Chain A
Amino acid sequence: MFATASNTLTNSFNGDVSYLLSQQTNLRFYGGYDLTRYEENPNNNSNGFRAGFRLEHRPTPRLTVTTGFEHQDYRFDNQFESSKVERLTVGFGYALRPTVNVYAAAGPELSNIPGKNRIQGYFLGGVQKTTRTTRFGLQYQQGTAYERGLATGLFTRTVFGSFSHRFTEKLRLGLSAGYVNNEYLASTTSHINGFQGGPTLEYAIRPDLTFVASYYYLKQTSDSLVIITPSLSHHFATIGFEYRIPRLFHR
């Protein structure tokens, strides 16, 4: 996967300032900084920076249209040259019902992985539903991304879905799954396909005591010659409890 057996320190700092231009229009400036530090593989340490703005306009109570620009910059600590992405997007969000939203954003993006410039299409779209008992989300995204910690530029296509339903006041069952198809944008093109998914069950034994059980399966295949573990499968299961200690203080 990330080809490095090492404990990892990550920090992601994000901030934004929103200014309401009118009752229907909002302008948002945002920025973020990511750092990743490998305890035993400092050569993979990397930094990432992004900044951008987005203009949001709501012509009707149900419809929001947006446009924005974003700049991203990632690099290894030990490399002078960084990888960059410039992305321009136009999008919309529409409330089919008070509980159901569809959204999409698309636009051109220029990526500069050291030695290579590319112009590609970025797209993100999905649907989400939130009721008192149910959460459902399905999202597709394609565009340039960077693997956390490796600062490796890649073109990714990701489908992610999640469903969670509360059957009673005490019992909730969730199911999530994602499929990723990554194409690495290095000097030699290689691919990674990955699937990950599984169920989660939560049960409130008491208001302050929760039982949780979850499982997920991961399958990865790759034709890369540089990744240490190109193909693998992985099962992971968890069972346990969390207890909330009586109130500490209240003002």
Chain B
Amino acid sequence: MTQAAHVLIVDDNRTSRMVAAKALRQLGCTSAEVGSGEEALELLKRASFDLVLLDIEMPGMDGIEVLRQLRASGQRLAAPVLVISGHGGNTDVVVSAIELGATDFLSKPFDPTLFRARVMSSIENKRLRDAELDNLKQIDRLSEAAMIMESGRFHPASLYLDSVAARPDAIGRLASVFMEMAHQVYDRELSMQRNIRTLNGAGLLLLQGVLWGLIVPLSILIYRENTMTLGVTFWSNMVAGVLCCAWAVGSGKSLRVSFQEFTFLLIWAAVFGLSSIVLFEAAGHVSGIVMSIILALQGFAVFTIAAAMRIEAPSLRRFAGLGVGLIGVLALLLVREQVTGVDDWMWLLIAMLVPILYGAIDILLAVKHPPTLDTIVSSGLVLVLSALLVLPLALVQGHAFLLGASLSVSDLLVALTGVCVGFCTVLYIRLIALAGAVFASQCAYAITVAGIAWSVLLLNEALSLWTGVALLLIISGLALVGPKREAGNVEVEFRRKARSMPVPSPAE
């Protein structure tokens, strides 16, 4: 026996308790003594014993009643009970004691050999049963872990099998094999999830690039017709905002937001309004291709801010990707600057404000966008808010005009820009939620490529061979940065394979 067995002696007679205690000590057991059935029940509630020696005949609550109450309370299973009957005692009483859950009986005076045999075997059985119960508990945990896996989403740490797997027995081996397999499934599913995320992210990103890239040549076309940029900013954002709000209301969403959410939207609207003004103003002074190229700086801005704020993990590979992308942008600028496109270097610097402001919005959205706020609702509200913020400036500067009053080409272009801006804003929030701010900022590259393509198509700007080479560099940079890496603790889905049983052929 590893640890001394602890026995409870229940007998109203002091001398009898003393005999039992000394006899048990002789067998290497420790003991506690109580003089009545009531005390025994009380003590059994608080302490655990390996065996109970229970005198049947006691004044007040007798041994039979103790057994009956133990049985009723469910404590009976906790320790084996040996009932003690007087010499030549009533056999019926012993039988009913055993029927009530007693393990065996001892008659007084004790026969030394029988006493030793019954006490030791009762304790041995109890320990074996405890070990079995423990095994069953471990098996329960294993099957719970299996149920967690089967029920769907899981993380290996949430299976809580480490302590089971550490056991040196067969159950421990089973648990460690199970854990190993759970880890393999987890790793496989995680990489699959990442691939799907990358694919979805890339799709959204290209769509975003194509649409947002269109805004650059559109704003240049607008500037050719209408130089009231503050009015243009107001209308394009208002059209976009009203469109998104209508979309939100149409799909049954409420435009109601909390004060905290409103504050967040107001900050976002202010930054976005400013970026819109700069974009529409710069459109008058920088060519479509150059503007598109400048927008690619957004990736650099976001990655730098994100790395500084430790929002996403900076890695050598991601820095390299960014570097390659930037080299592409610089090459494009060098090639373009020898030709036409910029009438003033000041405007080039002002235009660079746009990607920096976009970068700030990226981070703001990634860190602060309330998850409860619907993306279409927040897009709609932020666009309307940014339009309203620009309105007083437009009025003061005399840039206010009524959209649609003259049905001019420029009005049509402003409305079209608004539609693009609305779509892009919704898409962009979704992209950040899906792939993270750094990856989302890579849409700047897609915007650049698309912007150049649109500029060639719509503005008849020329695309040189060098421009093409530089674009290739930008795209490889995008691939290197990749989508955001999770911080761990991501659950994966466990899918069971449907197995078909082979049907044995009758010939075999």
Partners in one complex: no
- B residues sitting closer than 8 Å to A (CB atoms) are none
